[in-house]
Amino acid sequence: MRIGIPRALFYYQYFPFWKNFFEQLGLEVVLSSPTNKEILKQGLEFCVDDACLPIKIFHGHVADLIGKVDMIYIPRIISIEPKEYICPKFLGLPDMIRNSISNIPHIVDTELNLYKGKNHILDHILNLGKILNIHQTRILFAYFKAIKAQRQFEKLMIEKFVTPQDIIDKRLTFIENQTFKKRRNNIKVLLLGHNYNIYDDYISMGLIRKLRKHNIDLITCEMVTKSQIKEGNKKLSKDLFWTLGKKTTGTAYYFLEHKKVDGIIHVASFGCGPDSLVGELIEKRAKLEYKIPFLYLNLDEHAGEAGFDTRLEAFLDVLEGRKHIEDNISTYG
């Protein structure tokens, strides 16, 4: 039995869990190819034109899996934290796929809804077992193994300041040797944005690669502990109800408050609902209260790489200039 996992959206967050879980159950996990032009093209073809770029790309990845697998795992992710939601498009994702793409293999779309409490993850797991027709004890055993791998994955990102892609592609030692020659004077940039945008090399046009090439220390939401995010979010008067948005604001406010970064880059996809409000909140604070440079990068299928690079380089020049001036101010005023 081959189960397909599209290399998009929550792949960047939960892949270690999914991989270990399904492999424990004796299934063969097949990933779609890394995002490329063909996938983007197919995504644009199938998806409704109002959707955002990552959703379109997801359609492309599903189309890429057709013919390669016996079933595709597209969980209906309603909520991954209590009292919070993911964007409405995630809620309706299996429906969108079914409505837009014909001739697809069987979709495993069990509901993942932790709105009422974290232990509802077991409902999700056990329902999966029912669909796959596997005995409960085996399911639970696989679940515990998988959750262990997932925790290790999350811990590694926080400890070593690496991206999920580094871990999944096993580039760790390479990264440590190459780009992480820690220099004290490195510029620190906070890279905000949804994980499926910033870590997808094709969507983000190699943003992380480019930043590392410029010897920039980057911090993303995944490299921050939960307590830090919680501390940052205390500055909001009303709790956000989007998990990803909350992570973004928490990280941003924490680092702004502790003055630990030189600049902020916010990556959002064109038409992203939650980010249109979240971005506004962060940008206002960063500019008015903390005077930290803020770059807002908007991604869509028409984004040209040259213009993107120019903006990025200009921003990095600004950061460097500021650092330079700061270092050269005489102590006597």
For the record, the structure tokens of 130 come out as 């029912």
Give the interface segment with another protein, choosing from 48-56, 64-72, 178-186, 322-330 (CB under 8 A): 48-56
Give the footprint of another protein on residues 51-80 (CB under 8 A): 51, 76, 78
Q: Is the dihedral of CA 183, 184, 188, 194 positive or negative?
A: positive
E-assigned strand segments in the chain: 2-5, 28-31, 71-73, 76-79, 106-108, 111-113, 187-193, 216-220, 263-269, 294-299
How far apart are CB 325 and another protein at their closest, in Å? 28
Nearest CA to 111 out of 72, 147, 74, 65 is that of 74
Q: Which of 28, 34, 70, 99 binds another protein (CB under 8 A)?
A: 99
Q: Which of 275, 293, 295, 312 binds another protein (CB under 8 A)?
A: 275
How far apart are CB 175 and another protein at their closest, in Å? 34
How far apart are CB 235 and another protein at their closest, in Å? 12
Number of residues that bind another protein (CB under 8 A): 41
Cα separation, 124 vs 113, in Å, equals 8
**284 lies in the binding site for another protein (CB under 8 A):** yes
Give first-to-last CA distance, the chain, whole Å: 71
Q: Which of 103, 173, 177, 237 binds another protein (CB under 8 A)?
A: 237
Q: Which of 105, 147, 271, 301 binds another protein (CB under 8 A)?
A: 271
Cα separation, 59 vs 150, in Å, equals 25
Nearest CA to 206 out of 282, 299, 317 is that of 299
**262 lies in the binding site for another protein (CB under 8 A):** no
CB atoms within 10 A of CB 175: 17
79 by Cβ neighbours in 10 Å (0-12 / 13-18 / 19+) ranks as: buried
How far apart are CB 155 and another protein at their closest, in Å? 29
Q: Is the dihedral of CA 321, 326, 328, 332 positive or negative?
A: positive
Q: Which of 45, 95, 169, 300 binds another protein (CB under 8 A)?
A: 95
How far apart are CB 91 and another protein at their closest, in Å? 5
Binding site for another protein (CB under 8 A): 47-48, 50-51, 76, 78, 83-89, 91-92, 94-96, 99-100, 111, 236-238, 240-242, 268, 270-277, 279-281, 284, 288
